[in-house]
């Protein structure tokens, strides 16, 4: 039995969901509640963050480590190229987007969404415990403050993250203008990582969340700013998700 411990809203967890689905593996999902998740994750692994994948007696934490584990133990179809040079390129691209996009889009989105509990609480509690919405609403002020502190979410940091994200998105956009894939001539973990981490800009149906019909104006403006340079994300979802 394969079990994924995750947050439904997490784009790093989406990397793992996509990898599992791409390999057509049977797995079950355990959706944890932000803040309260620590009680479970610290029993499973060394750190408190998700995603965490449990396969029999093996516990793997972190999206990149999980993809590597899946390719080593469930190699068909592989997301990591066999060729050494292409493998190194794919891993380097994945490290790049994990660092230069993942935390920055998270900070920018939460800077806005934490001001709108009616939108973000359903994200936090999606397909979770039956008591999730009631409990998260009660603790939301403390949870909000805690998230802002741990993720360094404030007006200045959000602006800085937006600038860093713009550089990374432009680099990806320029590459995809000339190539179908980030590495070689096929879909790899590099493309999966880039598309899944940028998925919040496109809000694809296959992400698995119920996206709201109306978004805060600030979030619409942010999405619109990068929309033309993230069209390839929709193409990746359409072809490979």
Residue 89, pLDDT score: 98
pTM: 0.96
Of 147, 53, 3, 169, whose CA–CA distance to 102 is shortest?
Answer: 169
Q: What angle (nearest 5°) sits at the alpha carbon of residue 111, between those of residues 107 and 116?
A: 135
Examine the pLDDT at 36 and tell me if it is beyond 90. Answer: yes
Domains of the chain: residue spans and CATH: 2-73 (3.40.30.10), 84-240 (1.20.1050.10)
Token couple for 238: 């359409």
Between helix 189-202 and helix 231-240 the angle, nearest 10°, is: 120
Instruction: Note the pLDDT tens digit of each residue in 9-31.
Output: 999 999 999 999 999 999 999 99
Under 8 Å between Cβ of 106 and 151? yes
Give 76's DSSP letter.
Answer: S
Largest CA distance in the chain: 52
Instruction: Note the pLDDT tens digit of each residue in 169-224.
Output: 999 999 999 999 999 999 999 999 999 999 999 999 999 999 998 999 999 999 99
């Amino acid at each position: 039995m394969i079990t994924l411990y995750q947050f439904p809203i997490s784009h790093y967890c989406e990397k793992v969901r996509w990898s599992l689905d791409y390999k057509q593996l049977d797995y079950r999902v355990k959706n944890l509640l932000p803040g309260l998740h620590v009680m479970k994750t610290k029993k499973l692994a060394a750190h408190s963050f998700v995603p965490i994948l449990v396969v029999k007696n093996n516990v793997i934490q972190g999206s990149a480590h999980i993809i590597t584990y899946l390719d080593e133990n469930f190699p068909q179809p592989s997301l990591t190229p066999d060729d050494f040079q292409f493998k190194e390129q794919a891993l380097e691209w994945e490290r790049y987007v994990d660092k230069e996009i993942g935390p920055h889009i998270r900070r920018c989105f939460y800077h806005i969404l934490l001001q709108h509990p009616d939108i973000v609480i359903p994200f936090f509690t999606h397909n979770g415990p039956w008591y999730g919405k009631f409990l998260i609403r009660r603790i939301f002020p403390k949870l909000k403050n805690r998230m802002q502190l741990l993720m360094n979410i404030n007006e200045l940091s959000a602006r800085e993250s937006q600038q860093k994200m713009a550089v990374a998105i432009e680099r990806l956009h320029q590459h995809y203008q000339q190539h179908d894939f980030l590495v070689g001539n096929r879909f790899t973990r590099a493309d999966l990582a880039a598309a899944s981490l940028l998925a919040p800009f496109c809000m694809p149906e296959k992400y698995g969340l119920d996206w709201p019909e109306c978004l805060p104006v600030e979030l619409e403006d942010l999405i619109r700013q990068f929309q033309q340079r993230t069209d390839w994300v929709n193409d990746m979802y359409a072809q490979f998700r």
